[in-house]
Amino acid sequence: PGLDLDLILGYDFGVVRFEGELGYKRASLDEIGLRATPTGATTFSDGDGNVGVTSAMANLLLDFGNDDGVSFYAGPGVGWARVKMN
């Protein structure tokens, strides 16, 4: 079980569109995969903790096409994430 919170915002300026996202995720751990064995199986160990992820992302997109039909978009984006496991 875990928690996933996201704040997603965007604005359409016409041909140019901006999107931004902030996120926080947290989940409990009860077992951890350690390594692959010679037979290809993964071994697991009991665990007791949690993992959390904080992230941010921004995209600047060029919008092509018709607003009433098929539309395409492309553009650069940048993102950051921090993962913490206890």
Name the pTM for this structure. 0.70
Give the confidence band of 9 by pLDDT, cuts at 50, 70, 90.
very high
- Angstrom CA distances, 77 to 17, 26, 57, stand at 12, 25, 7
pLDDT tens-digit map of 14-58 = 889 999 999 999 998 877 766 666 776 767 777 788 899 999 999
Q: What CA–CA distance (Å, rounded) separates 40 from 67?
A: 50
Give the confidence band of 3 by pLDDT, cuts at 50, 70, 90.
very high
* pLDDT at residue 76, as a whole number: 97
Looking up tokens 């994430």, which residue turns up? 81
* pLDDT at residue 39, as a whole number: 73
